[in-house]
Structure 1
Amino acid sequence: MSEIRLYVTATEKGAAEILDILSGVFGEEDYAIATTEVDEKKDIWEASVYLMADEEEIVRGRMAEGLQPAFPDVAIEREVIPDVDWIARSLEGLKPVRAGRFLVHGSHDRDKVAPNDISIEIDAGQAFGTGHHGTTAGCLEMIEEVVRGRKVRNALDLGTGSGVLAIALRKIRDIPILATDIDPLAVRVARENVRRNGIASGLRLETAAGFHSPAFRREGPFDLIIANILARPLMKMAPQLASHLAPGGSVILSGILAGQRWKVLAAYNGVRLRHVRTIWRNGWVTIHLRHG
């Protein structure tokens, strides 16, 4: 069964608004939703939903209904995604990304790693998180800042995707890390990335939806919880997330559009987590909160 992309074309501002709408329409369902810059000078962006071909009719209808009030004239276009060639082509265009001391790069750019870089090798593939999105880069920068300023004894990477954030943390701190994702494919990809980056122990990967796994109780509470997901699921899970945080622990949240920042902060203030710092990148924010 082939994978397809349903997308609409807009300005950067419009694409961000559309992404917010689509995140609300599809909630925590297993659809990848993203925005992509097409032409910087002309301010042309695309907001996309990725799905299997047999779901197209239902997803297109829900997408059109959700966009109708704010974008009544927008056209939903369709692209069939080749299985292998698309990944190979995407690799060619991905340049190394620097976030603090971290350098996230593909296997084709190993020669770009400098002696003082903390190298994280992630090839473009089927799981989110190559470091090129503002949310991932913001999290990497925040991770380095948080562990430099506070003692962290264990950590949780919730919604790990490619595993890039858990790998980054393990490379700078020799602590036990639990990394989970709702998607079994993402966990398999993350496990391969962990191996590729030479991490032999200390990082455990599990498939888990939300906090529904005995692993959270067994390995928590956590001194640091990282969750790069989307604003609405983050707000919904605030009480559960806070209950798995150790006293004095830190939380790093991302996948949040700048306009959603105050809603997310309000949800976490409600469970007694206080704001420490926000990083802004390309219309997205990464937030550090602390218990106590």
Structure 2
Amino acid sequence: MNPAPATHRARVTLADATTAKRLVDALTEALFEVEAALSAFERPDGRWDVTVDFADAPNEAGLRDSVARAAGETMAQAISFDTVEARDWVKASLEHLVPVPAGRFVVFGGHDRAKVPGNKLGIEIEAALAFGTGHHGTTRGCLLLLDQVLKAHHPQRVLDLGTGTGVLAIAAAKALHGRVLASDIDAPSVRVARDNARLNETGHLVRVIRASGFSAPEFVEHGPFDLVLANILANPLRQLAGPMAQHLAPSALVILSGLLTSQATAVIAAYRARGLTPLRHLKIEGWSSLLLRSAK
């Protein structure tokens, strides 16, 4: 049996949450088209570890430049680079994957399966080399807004755009007992999302496709959509405002996240210009999640 391929890791420790969030935002933008998994965790001493796992060897100089712009030259020089076996990376990720409650939903790893209350909809998501998975603050914000929406509405055509691990698509499929289209630009994420859908017994309900934006014919086939979930990044969200509006049903609801609170105004403006009205703005751990409605 061939050994598991090594992944490449970059890590830096920052003094406070504000700097860590600023760095995470800068790196998510800089690494948008790179196969990389980004995580940020608070240490017991109050400092923050920011770690990036790369499928291929990273551009170290470019990464240091990005860190220098966001957190200063001292932090850029403090970055450590090493390699780690893929199975070790998964094990390390699981140590940080604690259950995330959000309304009726609980996102958890298999090691915490016994901790999920019987009256909750559990979504089991295992750590893996999936890219574009998002942060707990954004995932929780989307799930809280989804929970709110489904108390008053029963959308028939649902899209999870930029699905990552598939968590939002799985949540919608479980709560609605209905079909969901999920898409991602990243091939590893598509594979992981499909695996997670099967793991959660929603493989027959969640269809996962690889697509950039709204370019695939499946968007026309499955639309127009009554509900769209998009937990990605601020810049892509702004760029997708026009194409998304063209694929919405009248009075459709849209949940957006993956943006820092400081970026919310610009994203809201982009969607207002396309006829969407903001209904709610959740702020969790410095991240924003938005609920909007299209024109009637």
TM-score, length basis structure 1: 0.90
**1:197-236 residue pairs with structure 2 within 5 A?**
197-236=200-239
Aligned amino acid, residue 9 of structure 2: R
How many Å separate the matches in 2 of 1:49 and 1:219? 35
Partner of 1:271: 274
Shift in CA distance, 19/92, structure 1 to aligned 2, threshold 3 Å: closer
How many Å separate the matches in 2 of 1:125 and 1:152? 30
Residues 104-123 of structure 1, C-alpha deviation per residue, up to 9 Å, x if partnerless?
22222222222211111111
How many Å separate the matches in 2 of 1:188 and 1:136? 19
How many Å separate the matches in 1 of 2:69 and 2:155? 46
- Correspondence 1:188 to 2:191: yes
Alpha-carbon shift at residue 184 of structure 1 (Å): 1.6
How many Å separate the matches in 1 of 2:257 and 2:145? 10
Partner of 2:159: 156
Residues 238-261 of structure 1, C-alpha deviation per residue, up to 9 Å, x if partnerless?
111111111100110111111111
Aligned amino acid, residue 193 of structure 2: A
Number of aligned residue pairs: 287
Residues 106-160 of structure 1, C-alpha deviation per residue, up to 9 Å, x if partnerless?
2222222222111111112222588971111111111111121223111000111
Partner of 2:248: 245
Q: Considering only aligned residues, what root-mean-square deviation do their CA atoms show, in Å?
A: 2.2
Shift in CA distance, 24/152, structure 1 to aligned 2, threshold 3 Å: same
Shift in CA distance, 115/24, structure 1 to aligned 2, threshold 3 Å: closer
**1:12-27 residue pairs with structure 2 within 5 A?**
12-26=17-31
**1:29-178 residue pairs with structure 2 within 5 A?**
29-32=33-36, 34-42=38-46, 44-54=47-57, 56=58, 59-69=59-69, 71-74=72-75, 75=77, 76-127=79-130, 133-178=136-181
Alpha-carbon shift at residue 93 of structure 1 (Å): 4.4
Shift in CA distance, 166/237, structure 1 to aligned 2, threshold 3 Å: same
Identical residues among aligned pairs (%) = 41
Decide which moves more: 44-53 or 273-282: 44-53
How many Å separate the matches in 2 of 1:224 and 1:53? 36
Aligned amino acid, residue 39 of structure 1: R
Q: Is the 8 A contact 2:35 2:55 kept in 1?
A: no
List alignment gaps of at least 5 residues for structure 2: none
How many Å separate the matches in 1 of 2:240 and 2:60? 28
How many Å separate the matches in 1 of 2:113 and 2:50? 31
Alpha-carbon shift at residue 182 of structure 1 (Å): 1.1
List alignment gaps of at least 5 residues for structure 1: none
TM-score, length basis structure 2: 0.89
Q: Is the 8 A contact 1:223 1:250 kept in 2?
A: yes
Residues 174-202 of structure 1, C-alpha deviation per residue, up to 9 Å, x if partnerless?
33210011112211111111111112523
Q: Is the 8 A contact 2:169 2:180 kept in 1?
A: yes
Q: Secondary structure at the match of 1:73?
A: helix
Q: Is the 8 A contact 2:228 2:255 kept in 1?
A: yes
Aligned amino acid, residue 221 of structure 1: P
Alpha-carbon shift at residue 171 of structure 1 (Å): 0.7
